[in-house]
Homo-oligomer: A and B are copies of this chain.
Amino acid sequence: MPAYKAPLRDMRFLMNEVFDYPTHYANLPGGEEATPDLVDAILDECAKYCEEVLAPINQSGDEEGCHFADGVVTTPKGFKDAYDQYVAGGWQGLNYPAEYGGQGLPMSMGLLKAEMMGTANWSFTMYPGLSLGCMNTIMLHGDAEQKATYMPPLVEGRWLGTMCLTEPQCGTDLGQVKTKAEAQADGSYKLYGTKIFISAGDHDLSENIVHIVLARLPDAPKGTRGISLFIVPKYNVNADGSLGERNPVNVGSIEHKMGIRASATCVLNFDGANAYLIGPANKGLECMFTFMNTARIGTAVQGVCHAEQSFQGALPYAKDRRSMRALSGKKDTDHAADSLIHHGDVRRMLLTQKAVAEGGRAMVYFASQLADNMSVGIINGDIETYDYWDDKLGFYTPILKGVLTELGLEAANLGMQVFGGHGYIKEHGMEQYARDARIATLYEGTTGIQALDLLGRKVLLGSRGKVVREFTAEIAKFCRDNVANKAMRPFVWELTKIVTQWNYLTVRIMLQARKDRDLVGTAANDFLMYSGYAMLAYFWAKMAAVAFDKLENGGNDEPAFYEAKIQTAEFYFDRLLPRAKGHADSMLKPTASVMQMKPEHFNFG
């Protein structure tokens, strides 16, 4: 089984050298506590926990999977112990307010933590991860009593939470939700209905589980405007906070999945469960979507995780395993064959993984700063601030979620490919990464949904192209700032072309879509992928600029790190960015080539 080593050097490069987190935190209301020393200590401690506790139970967790018997879900061996350590370490409350028992650090610290935990063991990370959505919902939409009741044990991690959205007949299209709430005399409700795909829906890790459930009030309007949010605890909570009787939220079954097998995915039957309305009636979807951007960026992180994880597995193998001779002549003359890493196509695969992991990480670290700013708006109840930053974040979210999960899956598969036939064998652990990575393009909105969100909602309807103009203006400024630097010229040249092309494509689609609405659907995936490659190019150029500066202006004792950054940037621009050309070309093609075939003509017997 490949070992996990947290990429601390790279994380600190991004925090301290590229995105200047120290200044960001110093200026962030409530961020002052995140001093460089504290941040450093937390990263080290988190890395240790991930490397020593979570990574060793990743493969065994996949092998064993979760158990379901007599209505009870049991997690694999070692998960409960690892979770106890997680709670004892105070990790769940890292970025939650001190008033609920948290450490009150900025939201970004939670995303940094999530990457390390997720790389070490994504299945495990799902349990505390899903609880974030629950905590965020209660923190933002709960009344004082609900906050007082639920937040402290959730922030402590003594309780965990879930989000119950999907039903058998609908996932994306939540307007079809059927689960019903019946009013009780005391102002509470009883819920009836079935929810599926509930991650961490049941388990043996925490004392209680707090479900946030989408359901319909009696006489609610049809469709999306008749959906409300409810709190449904697994165990009823007494007035003093102690646990009462079991609430009838019954586990129907757990799913048998391709991967993330140690994460329990439950069918939950609400058989008249006690439920408490949270937030305004019939506004459940709006409330739920408050934190959608951060939830989706949390899933984008998964792409980075599996790219990093698979890279860390493939690299030592590529150095150890010997096969054939390098094309340019023998490299390891004292052996019968050269290491795989001397072969161009193996390098292509490794460098693709590296470019995705490090480039994706840069995108996440950038977006995390926006999330910090947005989060301040929430904590201070300052809706204007929240809206401003949530809007900003909204442009990045589908790109990060859509593209990083797709590329993370590709990277995980490349890691298997480096192993040749051995990659297909379970014991090496590489195929698990590919199976685990596969879910990321499906849940939290499929790639297709991200693509429509980006092109339809964010770019066209939401801003008439303004979000693209703004981001490309930032790229253009970067180009002006760096054009005098000869070393940066190749990057600047490519980025300049992107500035023009991205806006051109946006305008063309905007104009054509007026006449042909189908264009949004037929161009969406290409536009998403194009945007992802363009954005990655910008962040790779940004990292290269920092690296050139460090090499030139000295003061560092590890030029190799910066040289490797520049070399990876060159690889990205030469070998991955060209894919954007194909997407640019395809997206403007007539909608007919996608839309004209009649449904009954897709197949002939």
> Which positions in A face B, CB cutoff 8 Å?
5, 7-10, 166, 170-173, 175-176, 197, 255-259, 311-312, 315, 319, 322-324, 326-329, 336-337, 339, 341-351, 354, 409, 413, 416-417, 420-421, 423-427, 431, 434-435, 438-439, 441-443, 446-448, 451-452, 456, 516-518, 520-522, 524-525, 558, 560-561, 563-564, 567-568, 570-571, 573-575, 578-583, 585-586, 589-605
Contact = CB atoms under 8 A, between A and B. Distances in A.
Contacts of A197: 421
Given A258-B424, A315-B602, A434 B438 contact: yes
28 contacts: A7-B604, A170-B323, A255-B425, A257-B431, A258-B424, A258-B431, A315-B602, A326-B521, A327-B517, A328-B517, A339-B599, A341-B602, A343-B521, A345-B524, A346-B448, A351-B594, A417-B447, A434-B438, A435-B435, A561-B604, A564-B597, A564-B601, A567-B597, A567-B601, A568-B597, A571-B594, A578-B583, A582-B582
Nearest to A423: B442
Given A434-B438, A517-B327, A345 B315 contact: no
Contacts of A315: 602-603
Contacts of A350: 602
What 9 pairs between A and B have smallest CB-CB spacing?
A: A344-B521, A578-B585, A574-B589, A258-B431, A345-B448, A574-B593, A173-B323, A578-B582, A344-B522
Contacts of A443: 421, 424
B525 A323 contact: no
B525 A345 contact: yes
Contact of A580 (B337, B563, B582): B582
A447 B602 CA distance: 30
Contacts of A259: 424
Given A172-B420, A431-B438, A442-B421, A586 B597 contact: no
Contact of A345 (B344, B521, B601, B602): B521
A453 B281 CA distance: 65
Contacts of A575: 586, 589, 593-594
A255 B427 CA distance: 9
A176 B337 contact: yes
Given A172-B324, A345-B521, A517-B328, A570 B599 contact: no
Contact of A438 (B327, B416, B442, B583): B416
B351 A597 contact: yes
Contacts of A10: 604
A24 to B, nearest CB: 24
A605 B518 contact: no
A344 B5 contact: no
Nearest to A324: B173
Contact of A256 (B427, B435, B560, B573): B427
B560 A448 contact: no
A365 to B, nearest CB: 17
A424 B265 CA distance: 11
A597 B420 contact: no
A596 to B, nearest CB: 6
Contacts of A589: 574-575
Nearest to A258: B431
Nearest to A563: B601
A426 B257 contact: yes
A37 to B, nearest CB: 20
A458 B568 CA distance: 31
Contacts of A417: 441-442, 446-448
Given A345-B448, A345-B452, A345-B524, 6 more contacts: A10-B604, A258-B426, A327-B521, A417-B447, A563-B601, A578-B582
A202 to B, nearest CB: 17
A9 B564 contact: no
B595 A570 contact: no
B586 A574 contact: yes
Contact of A585 (B447, B581, B594, B605): B581
A333 B34 CA distance: 55
A599 B518 contact: no
A584 to B, nearest CB: 8
A170 to B, nearest CB: 7
A448 B347 CA distance: 11
A571 B599 contact: no
A337 to B, nearest CB: 5
A175 B593 CA distance: 49
Contacts of A568: 597
Contacts of A421: 166, 171, 197, 439, 442-443
A409 B414 CA distance: 13
A386 to B, nearest CB: 27
B344 A603 contact: no
A66 to B, nearest CB: 14
Contacts of A520: 327, 344
Given A348-B525, A416-B438, A446-B420, A425 B337 contact: no
Nearest to A344: B521
A451 B343 CA distance: 12
Contacts of A409: 413
Contacts of A256: 425-427
A420 B575 CA distance: 30
Contacts of A597: 347, 351, 564, 567-568, 571
Contacts of A582: 578-582
A10 B601 CA distance: 13
